[in-house]
Amino acid sequence: MSTLFTPLKLRSLQIPNRVWMSPMCTYSAAPAGPETGAPTNFHLAHLASRAVGGAGLVMAEATGVRPDGRISPWDLGLWNDRQQEAFARITDAIKAHGAVPAIQLAHAGRKASVDKPWLSDRYVPGTEGGWQPVAPSAIAYDGLAVPHELTVDEIQQLVRDFADSALRALAAGFQVAEVHGAHGYLINSFLSPASNHRTDAYGGGFENRIRFALEVVDAVRAVWPEDLPVFFRTSATDWLTENPEDSREGWTGEDTVRLAKELTAHGVDLLDVSTGGMVRDAKIVAGPGYQVPFAAQARQATGIPTGAVGIITDPHQAEEIVTSGQADAVLLGRELLRDPYWAQHAALELGVEPRWPDQYAYVVKRAPSRPRTP
């Protein structure tokens, strides 16, 4: 029996397996007009195909809780009826193919209003449809615009914006809401001393720097059904303190353990553990499973269920991660872009019957098997 292909129950929600699709921005929404921020036919095909491909949970990419919370003018948003209606079509398709639909609610903070990454990484000014980014402190991300330092009233409005988007996500049919607290975006920039230089209740010591994150979680949890889970994505480290040549103060794995304990107390059901994104020049030694130890550290220290990410490409590697208790699930990104049917192929490799749709199964089961190609 493969642990990777056993269900995981969080609250009353049973997720059919531990192979999940990680949220990945595709920069494919309309930048202006009545369809601004709404998912398109591309998003429908992109997300539903991974459900057909056997993923147990399919998470929609970082979705802005307000127009100026998007990473780029081409990102998804969830602040109006049209966006909500378009998402409902997608959640129906994901559920129809046996997967759980999830959404990552986000605000890009000081990394907002940038170009599509395959064109450039430049800031998009207001004259080209962009906007001024916001942050806990007026400290620019390298090469981007200096952000507006948020007032306390503006911070409280952002908390309400997350709750409003969570309500819309529920109405659109999502069963998991993930709060995006990673990769240098707004919540992460409050957490890290590298980007938060405030001296009020939202800055300074650890308890103040995590205040905004907990307020957002509380607001989302208050409107999200008691029987459905809330996730939190974290960057477990800024990769600053790991470099002895870097004197900058940053967020650490130990900080993540402390935060995980608080998140558990505030109703978070799973910690989705990534790393980095706070500074452009962080020295990261990447390799297969390089971020998994951070998920294992949080899980072992606090008991919170975790999701592991980062160059997880082989079925046996993924099986070992969950079987050994390093994480409760693996979230695949690039590997599911390369192969939307990775989960089905992994099931075969691990001796498990794939969850093919009926339209495929009667053909696939008759066809002679062949080795997986890289």
Q: Would you please indicate which residues are annotated as catalytic (active-site) residues? A: 185
Q: Please give the DSSP secondary-structure letter assigned to residue 30.
A: B
The string over 281-307, giving b where at least 16 C-beta atoms fall within 10 Å of a residue's C-beta and e elsewhere, is ebeeeeeebebbbbbbbbbeebebbbb
Contacts of residue 189, Cβ cutoff 8 Å, sequence gap at least 6: 109, 110, 135, 136, 195, 196, 278
Contacts of residue 346, Cβ cutoff 8 Å, sequence gap at least 6: 4, 19, 54, 315, 318
Residue with tokens 């989960």: 343
Is residue 106 within 8 A of residue 80, CB to CB? The reply is no
Is residue 49 within 8 A of residue 136, CB to CB? The reply is no
Q: What single-letter amino acid sits at 241?
A: T
**Residue 10 φ then ψ, to 5°:** -125, 115
